[in-house]
Structure 1
């Protein structure tokens, strides 16, 4: 059984409809550590050594966050900048993250159609996450496709609950080794790796 670290970053979590359901679905699962950066570091004063120890103890790293301006909230970016140090996460001596898995779990108000070449945002979610893909590559990690909740403002509570259930199934499946590695790395979204048909 693999250990999963969910690094959660949402500066206005109390106003989020979707993330409240997603968090509830995974918080408390066995072998899953939920790590809320804005709760831990409201002043942005990140304890780098502590964070590195936590990372080193886990096999799968999930960056869960809203998709802010095609990227991530500022505290998560600072966390990446400071914690993934040269000589620890990458470089000749930087082997602490080698062979671990990394992916994003994101929520966005934009529809699936908006994130296409011909759509409003001109690029796919996958393309906009290339910097994270490259970060994983540099740290000798395997980068998995993202779990994505599109059109958050238009979702009913029933739809949100379904996304939360599917997110839980993804985390459990990764923890328990239920998915084929080839299917994971080749999927467009992590949403698609669960057994049942999925409509975005």
Structure 2
């Protein structure tokens, strides 16, 4: 069984982000990855809810790749969450249709990793700052996967960005492989 990966790319000025471009380039050739560029699809913020819900149902691992804007995400991702993760679909009566799927935030942060500590200028770890995403995944019955973070995305060298992009690819391949093994084990047990 092949794990199908949906990459929801959420960057309002993607053409200016060489870090996010490198991350996308590193995985877009993987046959099981479907790229959904939300700002390209919805420049007017009018989200096709049914299209987005179908994409979610068609995939096992959902990646939200975005810059870490104000300790969160670009506004279109919030709008997407408010509309797509609706009652009766993602939670509530008739909901939990995403149960068992995996949620991954893949983010680029401008600051160094050390700044995301109690004594750093951000005062909290990225794990702590991503808790609202983790709770959203949990509320929808999804499994929150350890986030991928590229730190210093605006200041590290092109070579360092390329190394980070390769680390991203390796992480996605590893996740897809382990999800396949997990699925295969469940299928064998069901036989």
Task: Kindly report the root-mean-square deviation, in angstroms, between the aligned alpha carbons of the 2 structures.
Answer: 1.5
Give yes or no for contact 1:2–1:174 (8 Å, CA) kept in 2: no
Report deviation, 1:19.
0.7
Q: Which residue of 2 aligns with 1:186?
A: none
Q: Which residue of 2 aligns with 1:192?
A: none
CA distance 1:66–1:91, change in 2 (3 Å) = same
- Per-residue CA shift, 1:66-110, capped at 9, x if unaligned? 000000001111001100001100113212100000010000111
Task: Find runs of 4+ consecutive structure 1 residues off by over 2 angstroms.
Answer: 178-181
Any idea what SS the aligned residue of 1:102 has? strand
1:131 maps to 2:141: no
Q: Which residue of 2 aligns with 1:196?
A: none
Structure 2 spans left out of the alignment, 5+ residues: 183-191
Report deviation, 1:176.
1.9
Give yes or no for contact 2:3–2:180 (8 Å, CA) kept in 1: no
Any idea what SS the aligned residue of 2:178 has? coil
Q: Distance in 2 between matches of 1:179 and 1:111?
A: 34
TM-score (norm 1): 0.87
TM-score (norm 2): 0.91
Q: Which residue of 2 aligns with 1:36?
A: 37
Give yes or no for contact 1:66–1:73 (8 Å, CA) kept in 2: yes
Q: Which residue of 2 aligns with 1:74?
A: 75
Q: Which residue of 2 aligns with 1:195?
A: none
Structure 1 spans left out of the alignment, 5+ residues: 182-200
Any idea what SS the aligned residue of 1:121 has? coil
Q: Which residue of 2 aligns with 1:119?
A: 120
Any idea what SS the aligned residue of 1:105 has? strand
Number of equivalenced pairs? 181
Q: Which residue of 1 aligns with 2:185?
A: none
Structure with the higher fraction of residues in helix conformation: 2
